[in-house]
Chains A and B, each alone.
Chain A
Amino acid sequence: MQPAHANQFEHALLKNYLLDHAYDEMFAGTDELHPHYEPLFERFASLPTDELQRRKHSAELSFLNQGITFTVYGRDEGKEHIFPYDLVPRIITAAEWATVERGLTQRLTALNMFLRDIYNEGRILADGIVPRELVYSCKHFRRQMVGLQVPRNVYVAICGTDLIRMENGEFVVLEDNLRVPSGVSYMLTNRRVMKRIFPHLFRSYNVRPIEQYTQLLLGTLRSLAPEGRPEPNIVLLSPGVFNSAYFEHAYLARQMGIELVEGRDLVTHDNIIYMRTTSGLRRVDVIYRRVDDDFIDPLAFRPDSILGVAGLFNAYRAGNVTLANAFGTGVADDKALYAYVPSIIKYYLSEEPVLQNVKTYLLTEPAAKQHVLQNLDKLVVKAVGESGGYGMLIGPQSTAAQREEFTRKIQAEPRNYIAQPTISFSRAPCLIGDDLEPRHVDLRPYILYGDKVNIVPGGLTRVALKQGSLVVNSSQGGGSKDTWVLTQ
């Protein structure tokens, strides 16, 4: 492994900017910047330290004033905190974005075809491309969905795919989030704040706009309305104020001008869903649901759920209401199934995948399992059905006890885990204290799939703000920054 080394720029702002083998979003070499980062660097370098701090403070204040906050439970309950925000935007060129856009469109199209197939004829299983037992043993497979027709055959209408950049600069897919992806409100508010803090810089860059996202989302939901409902009543179903993403639910509902409802606001009668309003019951046609499958209907799924609506599944089955996303989409973002996505793309589209996967070891295969158990200290192990950085072992940063624990878990339930090499994904400049320093970043673009595929140019760039950390999740010291996709 190449050790970290200094850059050749003699600027005070960069004195702590060490380069290593990870791809750097700003530096093309030790003495050279990527051209699209040059104006940005010059602008930052031209500002005195206290001016940078002033702008950083002003950005934070702006988040607080817009109410873009999350609540911490416990002693300080009710105090609002802001999600850490980095002032330096991440820049993606038009050419890079074109590849990403093409790859994501291809991937989501194939995954929707896959979901339709496995819940209907099951051709891909019969042809032996994807093992039957892998699909049926997935805990997110919903037997109830078998044989059910969904509007426009769209199972996943809203998707947030996690991309990372390899050492050679290539974007690869780390994870598909096909259930209830979150974070889009941060993408939108980051942009709003950035435009206020660096208006001239922003203007000089010709950044493609993302503000149309909520309108596109509304259009996507409308295009999925049941037949014969030309003026559909669309609502956003939230688990309620105790959910950590509640801010986002409220934000999106407000931006789209639709009602934010909870399970207790909805009632079912004759397989039709109504919401209870002060002027009587009002029929609901499309539900953008931010409640997991398990909790959404106590009659069809977990009977102890109090967040859901009894009878919702039957209304859905009868075609009287559309859910976005559909039930049972989690089977396609299972981390073991992930290894088959390139084959799935080839099978349905007869195309080579534009975006590659990260090498993945399936622990149900004896040879792979043995290799993984012998190299636990070098690999990352993930539980297949989890998300948000839970149930993970990062080999190089683990203790012997943790590795032992994972060995036991893997032996007991090999289907439940996968392993991947530890990837040193790309790093982007961040304002840490008074200096620019590199931190690892990923990218989550948001893909909408209704009557057509829409991807707003950009996404949420998450940053592992702790030095050397590879975990970008907000629960573990992650932050975010604005993402600029350039027009040319």
Chain B
Amino acid sequence: MLSRVADSLYWMSRYIERAEHVTRLLDVNLNLMLDESAVSADHRWQRLLQALGSPKDVEWTGDPYALTQTLSYDTEFKGSILSCVISARENARHVREQISTEQWHRLNSLYLEVTQPEMQANLDPEGILATSDQPTEFLQHVMEGVHQFQGVSDSTMSHGEGWQFIQVGRYIERAAATAVLLEAYHEDLWSHSDRIAEGNEYLEWMGLLRSATAFEAYCKVYTADVTPDRILEFLLLDEEFPHSVRFSIDTLQNALEAIHGEGGKSRAEPLRRLVGRLRASLNYSSVEEILHGDIVAYLRGIQFQCRGIHEMIYQLYIDYSIQAALAG
């Protein structure tokens, strides 16, 4: 497959995943704002920014609505939901004939919906307050659109090389985003051991789980007994939950193996080593070890390795040097 096509599919998928992540974080935090909490509003929104990787052109000014506006609609800010949807659709447009008609229709409709001025008018402060016990229409719309897109991608596109690049984009984005999210919460959850959740604190912890759509899945495994170390274990090391880091890296490795199969095998060795090492570390670590050691360093290590994997994918498949390719 052409490198350009792989590149577009990969980024289309990453941007969609990113849009979903920002949407969910905003939704969860707008909801939490309604309850009194042990954690101050300042702290919570700053933590949200941290969970999004502390974008440098966005600042917390004390106004949650202004921040929500920026994170949702500001096209100057490349990480906003709107920017992500626009970028995903732009990438899809360049490979229009490689994706299925259903995928294109779903993504294009989402784009047309969210770029309507009426849709943005929905999110003024009154709008949020008026419908305070529900997520705003905009966020709900994006979430549904993204889920539908991912659904038709899996069910209407051939699971060949192109689809594998979509998988790679989705899961590398998800693994890195979950690691950043956990890092943003580390102080609140794992700085003092033996804490027991009470009232509002419980809400905060639940908020973290819901930020990764993990609350229900967590309860199925551990019951509603929420404790910091179990949260960490679940979001980091669970084998079956699709938003855990381990699950993401497992899926990433499977997709990359399928891609290596199509190209030359020996070329892929360095990438195979990088992914294999990260996978092994997640598969054979215990949460006790991680809690015992430096959690932040561990989470940063995951982010660092994800960046390394991304770069290696580019070096191997997309942006390789002509000289090296001719020599090989």
* A residues in contact (CB < 8 Å) with B: 65, 67, 78-79, 240-241, 250, 253-254, 259-262, 264-265, 267, 269, 274-281
Contacts and interface: CB of A to CB of B under 8 A. Distances in A.
Nearest to A279: B263
Given A240-B94, A278-B263, A264 B4 contact: yes
B234 interface: no
Given A264-B4, A265-B3, A276-B3, A281 B318 contact: no
Given A67-B101, A250-B97, A269-B326, A278 B111 contact: no
A269 B322 contact: yes
Given A254-B97, A281-B322, A78 B108 contact: yes
A253 B3 CA distance: 17
B2 A265 contact: yes
A279 B264 contact: yes
A277 B96 CA distance: 18
Nearest to B108: A78
Given A78-B111, A261-B2, A265-B2, A281 B101 contact: no
Contacts of A279: 262-264
Contacts of B94: 240-241
Contact of B97 (A65, A79, A260): A260
A262 B93 contact: no
B196 interface: no
A251 to B, nearest CB: 8
A250 B89 CA distance: 18
Which label, helix, strand, loop or mixed, suits the secondary structure of the B interface? helix
A5 to B, nearest CB: 48
Interface residues of B, number: 27
Contacts of B263: 278-280
A259 B108 CA distance: 24
Contacts of B262: 278-279
Contact of A280 (B89, B97, B111, B328): B328
B121 interface: no
A265 B8 CA distance: 13
Nearest to A259: B2
B3 A278 contact: yes
A276 B326 contact: no
30 contacts: A67-B101, A78-B108, A78-B112, A240-B94, A241-B93, A241-B96, A250-B96, A253-B97, A254-B97, A259-B2, A260-B97, A261-B2, A262-B4, A264-B4, A265-B3, A265-B4, A269-B322, A269-B326, A274-B322, A276-B2, A276-B4, A277-B3, A278-B259, A278-B263, A278-B318, A279-B263, A279-B264, A280-B263, A280-B320, A281-B322
Interface string B314-328: 000110101001101
A275 B5 CA distance: 12
Nearest to A275: B2
Contacts of A79: 112
B311 to A, nearest CB: 16
B74 interface: no
Contacts of A78: 89, 108, 111-112
Contact of B1 (A262, A264, A277): A277
Given A250-B96, A276-B4, A277-B2, 9 more contacts: A67-B101, A265-B3, A267-B322, A269-B322, A276-B3, A276-B320, A278-B2, A278-B161, A279-B263
A275 to B, nearest CB: 7
Interface in B100-142: 101, 108, 111-112
Interface in B255-289: 259, 262-264, 267
Nearest to A260: B97
Contacts of B108: 78
A275 B3 CA distance: 9
A259 B3 CA distance: 12
Nearest to B165: A278
Interface in B291-328: 317-318, 320, 322, 325-326, 328
B6 interface: yes
Nearest to B161: A278
Nearest to B101: A67
A274 B3 CA distance: 12
Nearest to A253: B97
Contacts of A250: 96-97
A264 B322 CA distance: 13
A238 B17 CA distance: 30
Contacts of B326: 269, 281
A260 B264 CA distance: 23
Contacts of B267: 280
A78 B108 CA distance: 7
A280 B325 contact: yes
A77 B111 CA distance: 11
Contacts of A262: 4
A421 B3 CA distance: 52
A78 to B, nearest CB: 5
Contacts of A260: 97
A281 B111 CA distance: 35
Top 8 nearest A-B pairs by Cβ distance? Answer: A279-B263, A250-B97, A278-B317, A276-B3, A281-B325, A278-B6, A278-B1, A265-B4
Nearest to B164: A278
A358 B326 CA distance: 54
A60 B240 CA distance: 46
Nearest to A67: B101
B120 to A, nearest CB: 16
Contacts of A259: 2
Nearest to B4: A265
A261 B1 CA distance: 11
Contacts of A264: 4
B316 to A, nearest CB: 8
A67 B104 CA distance: 10
B95 to A, nearest CB: 9
Nearest to A235: B2
Nearest to B95: A241
A269 B97 CA distance: 29
Interface in B62-96: 89, 93-94, 96
